[in-house]
Structure 1
Amino acid sequence: MMIQAALSEARLPPWRLGFAYGSGVLDTSRMLDVIITVDDPVSWHAENLAANRSHYSVLASLGPRAVARTQAAGPGVYFNAYVPLATTWPAMKYGVVSTAALFEDLRTWRWLYLAGRLHKPVVGLAGFEQLAEAQAVNLRAALAAALLLLPPRFDAETLFSMIASLSYEGDVRFAVGAEDAAKIDTIVGPNLAAFRDLFDAPIAAAVGDGVLTRRSDDAFEQRPDNASLLLARLPPALRAATDLGAALRRLVRRSSAAQTLKGLFTAGPGRSFRYVAAKLAKGKKRPVTVRTYSS
């Protein structure tokens, strides 16, 4: 696999499991985005610093414990960006997260950061199958949240757009123009088949237990009296929310603000400026058509 070869080229120490995500997976002219998990962040960063000091900003001069403490802040991911690659992709951005933190986010939506990324199609790398059970919980919760925010009748694209929006509404990057304003459209439109595959099991389960009715291959219907069943499938912290849409926006705002602020230190000023400039330029290429949903 080309992605695995790119990771091998970067000479990263052994990691537990990983996945690639974003437009760079298919467009090899862009930076490749990867998430990997490690069981012991201090030891892993110590080994990676010895092999790949150039991947890190000046923050790494404080040592692997400081890097690991920074990683643990907020959503728990430490990104190294613009790591040059000699073949296929020009560069790679890899995020390091503790294995335990990833599992926690999938099951509880404490940050809805990596859990949100896994609401969309990704490319699983070595060890990804270990996420199967936690990912099933995550996808079932995403479907339930989307159904609670949707009207009685809707089509498949509307459903998947709502799911994709769960972890973007409230994102501070949209507020400052540092993210593509048509992000949801560009994620869902070209990837409907992949979304169908990803959510095939939770949708089939929802149809099987009467929560959802399939009117055709592309159209669904739900009954308003299913709300209590759907609420029970959300992470506990969201079950008592009086306004689910607002609660999700607050969660995403807190998560994205924390990770964005941390990125200024982990990437360093030069890489941060380059990354934000690229995002701003990308956002200006499309009209502002981002969908806004409310409960």
Structure 2
Amino acid sequence: MHWSLRGKSTRHIKQKPSVPGAPKIDKFLYPQDMYVYVTLSSVRLFCDTRSPLTEKFQYILSLFPQDLVFAFSYGSGAFQQHGHKSTEENVVDLILVVEDAEAFHELNLERNWKHYSSLKYLGPHTLASFQEKWGARVYFNTLVPYKHGLLKYGVVSSSAIIADLLDWEWMYISGRLHKPVMPLVLPDANHPIRSALKHNLQNAMHTALLLLPDNFQEENLYQTLAGLSYSGDFRMSFGEDRNKVKNIVRPQIERFRNLYASFWPGLAAYAEFNSTTGRCEQDTSPAARIYHLNLLPKKIQQTIVHEWNRNGRWQDVEDVFRAAAHDTECPELVKEAVQKTVKASSWTQSLKGIPTAGFIKSIRYGFSKINKMWKSLQKTHGES
């Protein structure tokens, strides 16, 4: 069934000119205090710069096998967050995307034997199987020392990250990419990861709008977008900074704005953003909700249908979405679906992290997270 809604007039954000032709991926490297953008059907994924990567990140990349499909840094080691004086003393978090996990681990074991826990003695085939069959399909090496400090890097196959970006199968790597990241290596122009990155941001916008009221501030939108991947994550109750989402968003308003600006014209019939006042207004009618529900990622849609039918009845997707769109609890239904997805992957990936990091590193990493949470609680208490 086709659903339509007569659109309201809207003010569009000015679009910056696109960047013609991207360089080859081995030269597509960027500095710590900037980030890049690529154009995918006029959708900006990052922000513009052609400056070379800082010496620190050049060195980090040189540690690994060079046949990476996509690589990026995220978190407080890439961008300064509220409450951190700089990025220099923070652990650098990386995601390395590869085509062949076993081949990567074989080469990486030759280069970086000490990065791995005792699982390395089982060989690259077992490491790849453990990566591809458990948790969120990511293999992390944690608290790896290098000359500038500590690294934590995750290895994921291109097929797994595409499934997560398109369908939110685990909402793990996809969630990290709802926020500004520092790309270190970009995929080839025709690689399917490119379009999957765009769809992931679209997924996030439709989800966030279903969770928000008819009027809200720009910062509320970005906090909702940034918070999607933490919703349901057990670590937010035990072992994470309680102010994490606010700390991410507030110093990076401009980066969030650039990341999502190009989606507003496509939402003109349902939502508008006034860049002068920072106010957002949207239609929250059943027809608008159905529009967003139909464009949610597959895993979230499936979870919504499953939860709706828990009382023993069976309604198909179309009937569920029609009923949910008219229900005042629609935002809560979407929120619970996101929480369920995140909760499952956060538990399984955390359990997976014990053997991949090793027992000692797992304890150290856990204590560092608890210390962050304790400091944030003390700060919150002091401000109240």
TM-score w.r.t. the length of structure 2 is: 0.71
Please give the per-residue CA displacement for 1:158-217, whole angstroms capped at 9, x wherever unaligned. Answer: 011111111101101123x2111111111111111110011111123213xx11022453
* Corresponding residue for residue 293 of structure 1: none
**For this pair of structures, how many residues does the alignment match?**
285
After superposition, residues 1-295 of structure 1 pair within 5 angstroms as 1-2=53-54, 4-26=57-79, 27-72=87-132, 73-86=134-147, 89-128=148-187, 130=191, 131-175=193-237, 177-207=238-268, 210-217=269-276, 218-225=278-285, 226-239=288-301, 241=304, 242=308, 243-287=333-377
Structure 2 Cα separation of the partners of residues 239 and 71 of structure 1: 26
Please give the per-residue CA displacement for 1:240-288, whole angstroms capped at 9, x wherever unaligned. Answer: 6141111110100001001100000100011111111111111111138
Where 1:160 maps in the other structure, the secondary structure is: helix
Residues 192 and 127 (structure 1), Cα distance of their counterparts in 2 relative to 1, 3 Å cut = same
Structure 1 Cα separation of the partners of residues 359 and 378 of structure 2: 28
What is the CA distance between 1:237 and its match in structure 2?
A: 3.1
Structure 1 Cα separation of the partners of residues 379 and 255 of structure 2: 22
What is the CA distance between 1:239 and its match in structure 2?
A: 2.9
Structure 2 Cα separation of the partners of residues 116 and 203 of structure 1: 20
Residues 201 and 215 (structure 1), Cα distance of their counterparts in 2 relative to 1, 3 Å cut = closer
Please give the per-residue CA displacement for 1:54-104, whole angstroms capped at 9, x wherever unaligned. Answer: 000001111111111111112111011222221xx3121111000111111
Structure 2 Cα separation of the partners of residues 237 and 136 of structure 1: 17
Counterpart residue type for residue 267 of structure 2 = A
* Corresponding residue for residue 16 of structure 2: none
Counterpart residue type for residue 78 of structure 2 = V
What is the CA distance between 1:121 and its match in structure 2?
A: 0.3
Structure 1 Cα separation of the partners of residues 103 and 179 of structure 2: 31
Structure 2 Cα separation of the partners of residues 13 and 213 of structure 1: 43
Structure 1 Cα separation of the partners of residues 199 and 379 of structure 2: 31
Structure 2 Cα separation of the partners of residues 68 and 183 of structure 1: 32
Structure 1 Cα separation of the partners of residues 219 and 298 of structure 2: 28
Structure 2 Cα separation of the partners of residues 190 and 67 of structure 1: 38
What is the percentage of aligned positions where both structures have the same residue?
35
Of structures 1 and 2, the larger Rg is shown by 2
Structure 2 Cα separation of the partners of residues 21 and 46 of structure 1: 25
Counterpart residue type for residue 234 of structure 1 = L
Structure 2 Cα separation of the partners of residues 157 and 123 of structure 1: 21
Task: Answer whether contact 1:57 1:267 (CA < 8 A) is retained.
Answer: yes
Residues 167 and 179 (structure 1), Cα distance of their counterparts in 2 relative to 1, 3 Å cut = same
Structure 2 Cα separation of the partners of residues 94 and 195 of structure 1: 24
Counterpart residue type for residue 368 of structure 2 = A
Q: Which runs of 5+ in 2 are unaligned?
A: 1-52, 80-86, 309-332
Please give the per-residue CA displacement for 1:104-146, whole angstroms capped at 9, x wherever unaligned. Answer: 1100100000100000000111124653311111111101101
Structure 2 Cα separation of the partners of residues 6 and 227 of structure 1: 47
Structure 1 Cα separation of the partners of residues 63 and 93 of structure 2: 13
Q: Which runs of 5+ in 1 are unaligned?
A: 291-295
Counterpart residue type for residue 238 of structure 1 = I
Task: Answer whether contact 1:9 1:85 (CA < 8 A) is retained.
Answer: no
What is the CA distance between 1:289 and its match in structure 2?
A: 9.9
TM-score w.r.t. the length of structure 1 is: 0.91
Task: Answer whether contact 1:107 1:137 (CA < 8 A) is retained.
Answer: yes
